Amino acid sequence: MKIAIGCDHGGINLKPVLIDFLEKKGIEYKDFGTFDKSSVDYNEFALAVGTAVANGEYDKGILICGTGIGMSIVANKIKGVRCGHCHDVFSAKMTRLHNDANVLALGERVVGPGLFLEIVDAFISTEFSGDERHARRVEKIKQLENKNFK
Ligand code: RB5
């Protein structure tokens, strides 16, 4: 599995925690920035990570900002991205099982490092259920994208 990761200044402290976790698990990743605490716009990092996932270069994306909200809003405007904004383990698991989410957005100002890693672990280790009703709903999302995006 290859994972694209990104953050803004609001998520800069949790990103090393994520990198350490991925490295210990032997998971390949690319860090799309930001790389320091200077104030930046979350938009460009959500766009870079979301695009890398949508074009198939990476299997999943993980985005961290202060709340996860800005990142998730931007990511979900990219065709092919289904971004789950999750601050609990149950939601992270369900967004994989039911929504086949390919990007996870979280907020560093919302969760501590322990819960953060449990959420990430649930997201990356849970497969899409593939159940007919969930597959149908994901397919409807794709149809809506095809209708609304160029
Ligand atoms: C930055 O201050 C903050 O607005 C950003 O990290 C994020 O929380 C936006 O949704």
Model pLDDT, residue 150: 74
Kindly give the confidence (pLDDT) of every residue in the chain, 150 residues in length, as a single tens digit, with 9 standing for 90 and above.
999 999 999 999 999 999 999 999 999 999 999 999 999 999 999 999 999 999 999 999 999 999 999 999 999 999 999 999 999 999 999 999 999 999 999 999 999 999 999 999 999 999 999 999 999 999 999 999 999 997
Which CA distances in Å does 148 have to 49, 78, 116, 142, 145?
21, 11, 33, 10, 5
How far is the centre of ligand 1, averaged over its atoms, from the C-alpha of 78 (Å)?
Answer: 19
Model pLDDT, residue 92: 98
Which of 83, 18, 141 lies closest to 92, judged by CA?
Answer: 83
Ligand 1 atom 7: residue of nearest CA: 66
- Tokens 């800005």, located at residue: 70
Tokens at 52, concatenated? 């890398």
108 lines ligand 1 (CB under 6 A): no
Instruction: Note if 87 is an active site residue.
Output: no
Ligand 1 atom 9: residue of nearest CA: 70
> How many other C-beta atoms are found inside a 10 Å radius of the C-beta of residue 132?
8
> Which pTM was predicted?
0.98
Angle at 106 between CA 86 and CA 51, to 5 degrees: 100
73 lines ligand 1 (CB under 6 A): no
How far is the centre of ligand 1, averaged over its atoms, from the C-alpha of 130 (Å)?
Answer: 34
Contact criterion met (CB below 8 Å) for 104 and 61? yes
Instruction: Note if 98 is an active site residue.
Output: yes
